[in-house]
């Protein structure tokens, strides 16, 4: 019990320190919105680095860390240019809407990685090394960097804040629901201690929170983000995608025999442990907004 209390205190302390910094980077429009680029770059690259360290199997294969991190940085920069380049009249040598710009740099880095594999490493583990490198960049950096695209929308700040809040509430609701009411285990090999009661509790809390936040923004700030049926649907989507993000990270941690992705955030573990649900939720939310005409 004492250990649980200590861990809870660490988690609260970390939230008190890091949440204001994160929120400030999301909210501010100053400095050409560079803070949101820094937020996305730092979080996604730290998560990527943790993934690469976790997936290191020595002679059996390991990621090309420098090359993967370089591509991750480029993806964040291009996301920023696509989202804010025209708004701030940033001169570049390609059209902001032309995907060939980012593809050129990605192909260049992949070609360099293949060259390094051919001439600097042994044949054994080549497939694993290349696969881990590319997968990490696409899944972690490519997905999470959609926070920049969300920020660029008319109500982008509200979208990001409500997404973060609802996903955290889903996680907390699932935890306490499982502790208080958990009787029937899901049977998922990746997370055998999770219960259906926990997932259902998280879902209910997520839907109710989404509707409540939508009401608060509508009533107090005169910002109508969604209809209430749409808010309820998004609550279901966020709960589902957040759980998937958590389970995906759990799969990879179990496969590599680690408890946490890192130790950078006291009480939480690694950066990826904190943002695993957001990695999945960010792009899903953005493309939902695009498809429904909100973007």
Res 269: pLDDT = 83
The total domain count for the chain is 2
User: Of 110, 137, 152, which residue sits at a domain end?
Assistant: 152
In this structure, are 136 and 163 located in the same domain?
A: no
The verdict on residue 8 lying in a domain is: no
pLDDT in tens, 149-178: 999 999 999 999 999 999 999 998 988 888
**Mean pLDDT value across the chain:** 89
More confident of the two residues 270 and 3: 270
The verdict on residue 126 lying in a domain is: yes
The verdict on residue 12 lying in a domain is: no
User: Of 130, 152, 174, which residue sits at a domain end?
Assistant: 152
pLDDT in tens, 60-104: 999 999 999 999 999 999 999 999 998 888 887 667 677 777 778
Tokens describing residue 115: 């060259």
- Residues 156 and 146: their CA atoms lie apart, in Å, by 11
Alpha helices in 57-195 (DSSP H): 65-84, 100-120, 126-136, 143-144, 146-151, 156-181
The verdict on residue 13 lying in a domain is: no
Res 18: pLDDT = 86
Q: How far is CA 158 from the centre of its chain?
A: 17
The verdict on residue 87 lying in a domain is: yes
CA distances from 241 to 92, 229, 248, 279 (A): 35, 18, 10, 9
Res 221: pLDDT = 85
In this structure, are 284 and 255 located in the same domain?
A: yes
User: Of 152, 171, 198, which residue sits at a domain end?
Assistant: 152
Q: Is the pTM of this model over 0.85?
A: yes
- Residues 220 and 114: their CA atoms lie apart, in Å, by 55
Q: Whats the size of the chain, residue-wise?
A: 295
In this structure, are 148 and 161 located in the same domain?
A: no
- Residues 33 and 87: their CA atoms lie apart, in Å, by 10
pLDDT in tens, 217-229: 998 988 889 999 9
Res 5: pLDDT = 65
Q: What average pLDDT does this structure show over 116-134?
A: 90
In this structure, are 126 and 210 located in the same domain?
A: no
In this structure, are 75 and 207 located in the same domain?
A: no
In this structure, are 294 and 195 located in the same domain?
A: yes
CA distances from 37 to 58, 153, 192 (A): 33, 15, 37
The verdict on residue 102 lying in a domain is: yes
In this structure, are 146 and 241 located in the same domain?
A: no
In this structure, are 40 and 165 located in the same domain?
A: no
Res 223: pLDDT = 86
Res 7: pLDDT = 66
The verdict on residue 168 lying in a domain is: yes
Taking residue 192's Cβ as centre, other Cβ atoms within 10 Å add up to 9
Model confidence band, residue 3 (pLDDT cutoffs 50, 70, 90): very low
The verdict on residue 278 lying in a domain is: yes
In this structure, are 147 and 160 located in the same domain?
A: no
Radius of gyration, CA atoms only, the chain:
20
Tokens describing residue 55: 């997936």
In this structure, are 55 and 122 located in the same domain?
A: yes
Res 39: pLDDT = 97
Question: Residue 289's domain spans which residues?
Answer: 155-295
pLDDT in tens, 266-293: 777 899 999 999 998 999 999 999 999 8
Res 8: pLDDT = 67
In this structure, are 148 and 163 located in the same domain?
A: no
């Amino acid at each position: 019990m004492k250990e649980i209390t200590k861990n809870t205190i660490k988690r609260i302390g970390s939230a008190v320190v890091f949440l204001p910094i994160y929120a400030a980077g999301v909210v501010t429009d100053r400095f050409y919105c560079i803070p949101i680029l820094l937020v996305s770059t730092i979080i996604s690259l730290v998560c990527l680095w943790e993934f690469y360290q976790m997936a290191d199997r020595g002679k059996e294969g390991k990621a090309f860390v420098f090359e993967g991190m370089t591509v991750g940085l480029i993806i964040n920069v291009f996301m920023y240019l696509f989202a804010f380049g025209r708004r701030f009249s940033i001169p570049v040598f390609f059209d902001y809407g032309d995907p060939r710009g980012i593809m050129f740099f990605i192909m260049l880095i992949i070609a360099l990685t293949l060259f390094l594999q051919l001439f600097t490493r042994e044949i054994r583990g080549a497939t694993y090394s290349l696969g881990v490198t590319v997968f990490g960049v696409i899944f972690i950096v490519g997905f999470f960097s959609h926070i920049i695209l969300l920020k660029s929308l008319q109500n982008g700040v509200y979208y990001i804040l409500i997404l973060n809040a609802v996903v955290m509430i889903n996680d907390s609701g699932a935890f306490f629901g499982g502790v208080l009411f958990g009787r029937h285990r899901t049977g998922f090999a990746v997370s055998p201690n999770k219960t259906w009661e926990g997932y259902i509790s998280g879902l209910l809390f997520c839907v109710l929170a989404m509707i409540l936040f939508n009401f608060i923004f509508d009533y107090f700030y005169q910002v109508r983000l969604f209809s209430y049926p749409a808010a309820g649907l998004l609550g279901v989507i966020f709960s589902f995608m957040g759980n998937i993000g958590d389970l995906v990270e759990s799969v990879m941690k179990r496969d590599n025999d680690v408890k946490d992705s890192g130790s950078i955030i006291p009480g939480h573990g690694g950066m990826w442990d904190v943002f695993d649900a957001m990695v999945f939720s960010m792009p899903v939310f953005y493309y939902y907004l695009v498809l429904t005409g909100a973007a």
